[in-house]
Amino acid sequence: MSKIFKHKDFELTIFVEDTDFQGFVYHANYIKYFERARSNFLTINGISQNDLRQSNLGFVIKRIDIDFLYPAKLGEKLIVQTEVEKKSKARMLFNQKIISDDSKNQICEGSVEVCMVDIETKKPKPFPNDLLLIFDNGEAHG
């Protein structure tokens, strides 16, 4: 049975570098915002991606689905909401939404499937025990 955790909201502000010539957020940047919230989940829960790399382990994205619903614009404050679902010992699904803190419009929503691999062999590996324990013990932070 999978377990789902609501992660602490991740907040950000849109700067000029995030936008296209019309002042709207460039579509690929939403994936970056999702990534920042996922990285924040790991950091808050004491999982160091640098330590994992030293152990020859790395996270890879298996699949991303994203629906763009409303454009975000220059100067807008956004909130990335994240729910993390453990699908197996080697697969997590991050269901994420971006909402404008200013207008309350939902900007986009997506799901990101994340797996762990051995960096050298590129073969799937189970998540480290400290990450699995977050789900097994129900002790995710944030």
Is residue 25 within 8 A of residue 70, CB to CB? The reply is no
Q: Is residue 27 part of a domain?
A: yes
Tell me: pLDDT of 127 over 80: yes
Tell me: pLDDT of 1 over 50: no
Terminal-residue alpha carbon distance, the chain: 22
- Could you give the CA distance from residue 51 to residue 57 in angstroms, rounded to a whole number? 9
Number of domains forming the structure of the chain:
1
- What is the mean predicted confidence (pLDDT) over 39-45? 90
Q: What is the CATH number of the domain that holds 53?
A: 3.10.129.10
The pLDDT assigned to 132 comes to: 80
Per-residue pLDDT band at 2 (split at 50, 70, 90) = low
The pLDDT assigned to 3 comes to: 73
- Could you give the CA distance from residue 116 to residue 122 in angstroms, rounded to a whole number? 9
Nearest to 34 by CA among 142, 108, 123: 108
Q: Is residue 129 part of a domain?
A: yes
The pLDDT assigned to 140 comes to: 56
Q: Which residues pair with 88 in a beta bridge?
A: 91
Q: Is residue 142 part of a domain?
A: no
- What is the mean predicted confidence (pLDDT) over 45-64? 92
Per-residue pLDDT band at 86 (split at 50, 70, 90) = confident
pTM: 0.88
The 10s digit of each residue's pLDDT in 13-39 is 999 999 999 999 999 999 999 999 999
Tell me: pLDDT of 138 over 90: no
Q: Is 87 helix (H, G, I), strand (E, B) or coil?
A: strand
- Could you give the CA distance from residue 127 to residue 135 in angstroms, rounded to a whole number? 11
Is residue 18 within 8 A of residue 101, CB to CB? The reply is no
Average pLDDT value for the chain: 91
**Segments forming the whole domain that contains residue 94:** 3-135
Q: Is residue 108 part of a domain?
A: yes
Q: What is the dihedral of CA 114, 115, 121, 126, to 10 degrees?
A: 160
The 10s digit of each residue's pLDDT in 90-103 is 899 999 999 999 99
Query: Which sequence positions are flagged as catalytic?
Result: 20
